[in-house]
Structure 1
Amino acid sequence: IMDGNGRWARRRGLPRIEGHRVGGETVRAIVRQCARLGIESLTLYSFSLENWKRPREEVEGLMALYAQYLASERAEIVENDIRLTQLGRRAGLPDEVLRELDATEELSRGNGGLRLNLALNYGSRAEIVDAVRSLAQRVQRGELTPDQIDEQAISEALYTRGQPDPDLLIRTAGEMRISNFLLWQISYAELYITPVLWPDFSVDELHDALRAFARRERRFGDVRPHDGRASPTAQA
């Protein structure tokens, strides 16, 4: 959860959009490092459904930044075997952003390295609502019975279908909340909260988070820790 762009800008007497711009540079550095480390999956909470409530000027600036990022980083994403996927609803996103998303997703579809999920126009409750509607439609068509709806069926109806659940949730800027992010998927994820604002979140900060994760004993509801502590190949 990339939090703190606005505060970073405010403390420097800059417009909020400047914090988002510098935060985009942090995204580039962290994505590159995750790919180098062999991390399987990285999900970035970029823009929530609730973020539409922000001032119009800020929202328009953010959408322009997303389009610019996708256009400028597309070649590197493809060359570094990264596969980009949007998590969220397409309705409401500007045409320019959708064009850049579609082009990047299509060109990177066959890549087998880092899975980069861009949670854009995303809300976890909305994701679950969409999944329930999808399952209800399948029942209505006779493809599924209510008794066949289990955790696996729900997982396969989510935006993240086919992907493993995250092992580690990192939140910057020190906020102690989940903010409607991957509520189903992070059931057993380890949490790492850092006071560092997102524009200041460096590769060294990422390494600190991964080292802290590697020291955790993951129990998954059991009384004994499970074998295989966290490694840099986990999902973040």
Structure 2
Amino acid sequence: MASRTHSLLNRAYERLLEREIDGAPTHVAVIQDGNRRYANEHGQDAADGHRAGAETTEAVLDWCAQIGVEELTLYTFSTENFDRSADERDHLFSLLEEKLREFADAERVHEREVRIRAIGETDRLPDDLRDAIDYAETKTADYDALQLNIALAYGGRAELLSAARDVARTVETGDTTPADIDAETIERRLYAGPARDVDLIIRTGGDERTSNFLPWHANGNEAAVFFCTPYWPAFAKKDFLRAIRTYESREQSWRRTRARRALALVRAVGGAELDEARAIVERFREYLPRGELDGVESNTNETEPTTAD
């Protein structure tokens, strides 16, 4: 009886969260932490924790598709994870190989047109796992509805160092000058995989740090971050929806701040020559209380607003 009541309350809470969400972030990145601790608390081996975590991964992919997320990146195996015991690594590599092939053949993956990509120093991985990566990438190469990036042998600092060294070599050979180096120069040399900047990072397991994960795509975009205590195998849909709500709250706050800055410009300088400021106020007026617009309504409506960047 208690279990049924708990289940009903969880479902009611999920429905409440779903009603509170207006949209979805374009790109969600997840640090799947806590598999081993989950297994230890349940008297199991680390291998059991990783397998339980794989089931959560499948569920999260479904949730992303349901709310319209276009890209999901999973921090599955970091460069630091090579320091783990050989037995644990071997089991994890075997599980990843199994799941990649399973995903590549899954009907729901093809129905939802999920494209699978691996990012990281994949040449460091065992041959069987690399073959599974090639299989999954080839089978889903033509899809673009939802991109699933699996970060394997990945380290954000290593990625940036590799890009910097590559640029330095082009400067040394005379193919590039320091003055020519810009953001696009670096981006072209990052690991192939992510198609867009990260909007939201989720980390399970209780630790409040992003652990060197996608520093260029996430930190550069000032991504929202959601930390939660459940271990990855226990991560539930309500936790996922709470993360999405956190992202939306942050976006609303950012829009409100930008609108207020534009409003201050209009008030300080006058509306006639501030087309961009007027456009921002118009674009984000729904995020400002009516009272804040007093005295500038006539200015912001003097001319047709232009499109803000």
Could you state the TM-score of these two structures normalised by the residue count of structure 1? Answer: 0.89
- The aligned residue for residue 199 of structure 1 is 233
Q: Select the residue among 224, 248, 254 that pairs with 1:190.
A: 224
> Deviations along 1:199-236, whole A, 9 cap, x unmatched?
0112222112112221224549x95368679xxxxxxx
What amino acid is aligned across from residue 161 of structure 2 in structure 1? V
Q: Select the residue among 211, 228, 237 that pairs with 1:179.
A: 211
What amino acid is aligned across from residue 130 of structure 1 in structure 2? S
- The aligned residue for residue 107 of structure 1 is 139
Q: Does 1:159 align with 2:191?
A: yes
Cα 1:115–1:218 shift into 2, 3 Å: farther
What amino acid is aligned across from residue 152 of structure 2 in structure 1? L
How many residues align? The count is 228
- Cα distance in structure 1, aligned partners of 2:122 and 2:161: 15
Cα 1:184–1:198 shift into 2, 3 Å: same
8 Å contact 2:224–2:246 — kept in the other structure? no
Q: Select the residue among 124, 130, 154 that pairs with 1:98.
A: 130
> Deviations along 1:23-64, whole A, 9 cap, x unmatched?
000001101221222211111000000001111110110000
- The aligned residue for residue 88 of structure 2 is 58
Q: Unpaired runs of 5+ in structure 2?
A: 1-30, 260-279, 287-309
Cα 1:148–1:104 shift into 2, 3 Å: same
What amino acid is aligned across from residue 100 of structure 1 in structure 2? A
For residue 156 of structure 1, report the CA deviation from its aligned partner: 2.5
> Deviations along 1:61-109, whole A, 9 cap, x unmatched?
0000000001111123334211111110022201110001011111211
8 Å contact 1:49–1:121 — kept in the other structure? yes
What amino acid is aligned across from residue 94 of structure 1 in structure 2? P
Cα 1:144–1:79 shift into 2, 3 Å: farther
RMSD: 2.2
What amino acid is aligned across from residue 123 of structure 1 in structure 2? G
8 Å contact 1:35–1:82 — kept in the other structure? no
For residue 189 of structure 1, report the CA deviation from its aligned partner: 0.3
- Cα distance in structure 2, aligned partners of 1:215 and 1:138: 43
For residue 142 of structure 1, report the CA deviation from its aligned partner: 4.3
Q: Which has the higher contact order (CA 8 A, sep 6+)?
A: 1
Classify the secondary structure of the residue corresponding to 1:157.
coil
> Deviations along 1:169-221, whole A, 9 cap, x unmatched?
1000110111111112212000100011100112222112112221224549x
Q: Unpaired runs of 5+ in structure 1?
A: 230-236
- The aligned residue for residue 88 of structure 1 is 120
Classify the secondary structure of the residue corresponding to 1:192.
strand
Cα 1:139–1:218 shift into 2, 3 Å: farther
State the identity as a percent.
36
For residue 161 of structure 1, report the CA deviation from its aligned partner: 6.4
- The aligned residue for residue 33 of structure 2 is 3
- The aligned residue for residue 65 of structure 2 is 35
Classify the secondary structure of the residue corresponding to 1:84.
strand
Greater displacement, 16-25 / 161-170: 161-170
What amino acid is aligned across from residue 201 of structure 1 in structure 2? F
Classify the secondary structure of the residue corresponding to 2:57.
helix
Classify the secondary structure of the residue corresponding to 2:216.
coil
Greater displacement, 142-151 / 93-102: 142-151
- Cα distance in structure 1, aligned partners of 2:43 and 2:194: 44
Could you state the TM-score of these two structures normalised by the residue count of structure 2? Answer: 0.69
- Cα distance in structure 2, aligned partners of 1:137 and 1:51: 29
8 Å contact 1:173–1:194 — kept in the other structure? yes
8 Å contact 2:51–2:95 — kept in the other structure? yes
Greater displacement, 62-71 / 148-157: 148-157
- Cα distance in structure 1, aligned partners of 2:180 and 2:193: 17
What amino acid is aligned across from residue 190 of structure 2 in structure 1? L
Classify the secondary structure of the residue corresponding to 2:117.
strand
- Cα distance in structure 2, aligned partners of 1:52 and 1:218: 40
